[in-house]
Structure 1
Amino acid sequence: MSLPPPRHSLTDDAQGIAFGSFMAAVSVVLLTHLGFVTGQTAGLAILIGYGTGWAFGPVFFVINLPFYWLGWKRFGPTFVAKSFLAVALLSALTMILPDYLHFGRIHPAVGAVLAGCLTGAGMLALFRHGSSLGGIGIVGLYIQDATGFRAGWVQLGFDAVLFGVALTLRDPVTVGWSFLGALILNLTIAVNHRKDRYIA
């Protein structure tokens, strides 16, 4: 009879959350450099930033605050604590990185694919260490538990509205490239985030 696999240590979790938050922060810097948007609460924070001139970091941090209560009920305090840390770290990094990370000319297609891959890698690391970047995913799972309506459809509906609003702030070509980045992100997670293939 095989023994259960060892769980992640505290050091493992710290590394995973730091890596995931850093990758996501680099992606946000790249997205805003290109004038792109993305989905979920990160996309909402970016849009608010475009419309108001407010920095992404504080907006993203505040937007996520109401979701922790749902996360506590659905996943428990450990998940909420790790997610709060990831969101706070991402928010801080997006304020710091622009002083040290600068992009030149990037073709929109390459930028979209790179942003999707960076965020996908970051979110996979966060998921595998029992964390997230909060937001609509938690709402989707909560609604799914309460009503049976699939969480994926909740997220898809939110993103559809978000990209619709983006068309009022960005040109259609930019929104189209942004959609490519969001597609790459979701494909990365869909293909690689499999509990039956990853045990830790």
Structure 2
Amino acid sequence: MTPIKNQKRNKLFILIRGLAVILGGFIAAYGLEAVLIPNNVSDGGVTGLSIVGSQLSGMPLGILIAIFNIPFIWLGYKQIGKSFAIFSIIGIVSLAVGTSLMHHIPAIIEGDTLLITVVGGIIIGFGMGLALRNGGALDGIDMLAVLLSRKLPFGTSDFILFLNLFVFIFVATVFGLQGAILSAIAYFIASKVIHIVEEGLSGSKTFKIITTEPKTMVETIRDRLGRSATYKEAYGGYSHEKFMEITCVINRLEESKLKEIIQEIDDTAFVTVYDVVEVKGGNFRKSDIH
């Protein structure tokens, strides 16, 4: 493939990803405004805090979502990269604008608490999962959980649960205990849908890459993702050719960026991906890349 064609292909790929992130933001906004909020049910994470803040202060929900996510966007920029931060900005702005545009649409479900939590959780989870699958995030609490998991001896999922525990306590002050419980159920359902849409979202991942450009690949992963990688020799069972196999462990928010790097450097590379429940010790650390 010529450099010009490859460049056009990359631009088209980026455009499609951006549109998918925007769509994810509007889908999540619809789940909030047409299902959860009219029935006094909130969401988790930064969005849940924004909903409570909106109820208490009377400020538009979209403005609070944008403001509360600013520090987390900066965190994503420092720890994951520029493209992730840009796609996250696109997603969060889409969510904020979507909640403003859909604020007065009629609720599609009323009264049935079980149906509200299930349908609301599915819609929001699908929207968030679509954004994450394409390299952006709609809620900053996941970024904070990833950072804390590297500083303290607990997994990312443990911190997501821990941080949201405080969110739902806060939700209870506005929506009552029942509203907080329903919000927690809706958030749990949403998290499972996110896992389906964006496979392996709940933990780290191991990438094994066989490429003809191992040195360039490792250097780019180090420079643009802030991750180290290891080499080992591998031999083709049929051809008996010798290859260098690269192994790299990343967190769940970095998967799209690593795939982008692999595609850019060697689109014929042989890649296998494994889910990792937990990573401890060793050199599973990364430094700021900006």
1:157 paired to 2:162: yes
Does the 8 A contact of 2:171 with 2:179 survive in 1? Answer: no
Higher share in strand: 2
Deviation (angstroms), 1:39: 0.7
Q: How many residues align?
A: 193
Residue of 12, 30, 41 corresponding to 2:16 = 12
Out of 83, 87, 110, the position equivalent to 1:82 is 87
Question: CA distance change for structure 1 residues 149 and 52 in 2, over 3 Å: closer, same or farther?
Answer: same
The answer to whether structure 1 residue 174 and structure 2 residue 175 are counterparts is no
Identity %: 21
- Structure with the higher fraction of residues in helix conformation: 1
Q: Does 1:190 align with 2:183?
A: no
Q: RMSD of aligned C-alpha atoms? A: 2.2
Q: Which amino acid aligns with 2:158?
A: W
Amino acid at match of 2:19: Q
Instruction: Name the stretch that deviates more: 39-48 or 148-157.
Output: 148-157
Is the 2:21–2:91 contact (alpha carbons within 8 Å) kept by the matching residues of 1? yes
TM-score (norm 2): 0.61
Q: Is the 8 A contact 2:117 2:186 kept in 1?
A: yes
CA gap 1:105/1:22 in 2 versus in 1, 3 angstroms = closer
Aligned to 2:103: 98
Give the structure 2 partner of residue 34 of structure 1.
Answer: 39
Shift of 1:190: 3.0
> Which residues of 2 match residues 99-114 of structure 1 at below 5 A?
99=104, 101-103=105-107, 106=110, 107-114=112-119
Q: Specify the structure having the higher radius of gyration (Cα).
A: 2
- Name the SS for the 1:130 alignment partner: coil
| Shift, 1:35, TM fit | 1.0
Q: Which of these residues, 144, 147, 168, is aligned with residue 142 of structure 1?
A: 147
The alignment partner of 2:102 has SS state of helix
Aligned residue for 2:103, secondary structure, equals helix
Deviation at 1:90, TM superposition (A): 0.9
Q: Structure 2, unaligned stretches of length 5 or more? A: 1-8, 206-254, 260-290
* More RCO (CA 8 Å, sep 6+): 1
1:117 partner letter: I
Measured in 2, the distance between the counterparts of 1:75 and 1:104 equals 37
Q: Deviations over 1:14-34 (max 9, x none)?
A: 331122011110012022111
TM-score w.r.t. structure 1 length?
Answer: 0.87
